[in-house]
């Protein structure tokens, strides 16, 4: 059963040290909806291909956003793609894969800053790179109120 609220926050035991390869990312505005085709990147340590080995170095892939009207069509994700989710990819070439769950969907702003618009939630049981089965992300913009409440109270 797929969770309708597939999101979590982790409180770090110590501060993160930023560097050239470790940088903060912004959160989107509450309710912000990415336009169809917007270029974003998934990254993770998941499998390199369906039934393939797990990554030994962090992977990333450019996945254009698929709007909700398309992603929720009968031959795409239908009712499994809710309006609190972001779909990206679906070209049958690049996708998130098993083990990428929780990984970010990062999109760059015109000013060069990065925004975490999603967290990998699920993909196709048929394989990792299935046409019209884009990687589905929990839409961070749908949970900004919850994130702010949790962070304020902890």
pLDDT digits (tens, 9 = 90+) for 102-141: 999 999 999 999 999 999 999 998 999 999 999 999 999 9
Question: Is 108 part of any domain?
Answer: yes
- Percent of the chain at pLDDT > 90 equals 93
Question: What distance in Å separates the CA atoms of residue 89 and residue 59, rounded to the nearest whole number?
Answer: 15
- Report the CATH number at residue 132: 2.40.10.10
Question: Is 30 part of any domain?
Answer: no
Number of structural domains (the chain) is 1
Question: What distance in Å separates the CA atoms of residue 120 and residue 135, rounded to the nearest whole number?
Answer: 7
Question: Is 139 part of any domain?
Answer: yes
Is-contact 50 99, C-beta < 8 A?
no
* pLDDT per residue as tens, the chain (154 positions): 445 678 999 999 999 999 998 999 999 999 999 999 999 999 999 999 999 999 999 999 999 999 999 999 999 999 999 999 999 999 999 999 999 999 999 999 999 999 999 999 999 989 999 999 999 999 999 999 999 999 999 8
DSSP 46-113: SBSSTT-PBPSS-EEEEEEEE-HHHHTSTTTTGGGS-TTEEEE--SSSS---TT-TT-EEEEE-TTS-
The pTM (predicted TM-score) of the whole model is: 0.93
**What residue numbers bound the domain in which 129 lies?**
39-153
């Amino acid at each position: 059963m797929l969770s309708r609220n597939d999101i979590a926050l982790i409180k770090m035991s110590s501060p993160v040290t930023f560097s050239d390869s470790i940088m903060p990312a912004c959160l989107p505005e509450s309710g912000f909806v990415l336009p169809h085709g917007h270029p974003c990147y998934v990254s993770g340590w998941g499998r390199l291909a369906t039934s393939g080995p797990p990554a030994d170095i962090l992977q990333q892939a450019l996945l254009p956003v698929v709007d909700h009207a398309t992603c929720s069509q009968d031959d795409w994700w239908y009712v499994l793609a809710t309006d609190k989710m972001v779909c990206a990819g679906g070209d049958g070439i690049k996708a998130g894969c098993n083990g990428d769950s929780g990984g970010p969907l990062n999109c760059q702003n015109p000013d060069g800053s990065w925004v975490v618009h999603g967290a990998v939630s699920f993909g196709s049981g048929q394989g990792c790179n299935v046409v019209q089965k884009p990687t589905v992300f929990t839409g961070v913009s749908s949970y900004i109120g919850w994130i702010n409440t949790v962070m304020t109270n902890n």
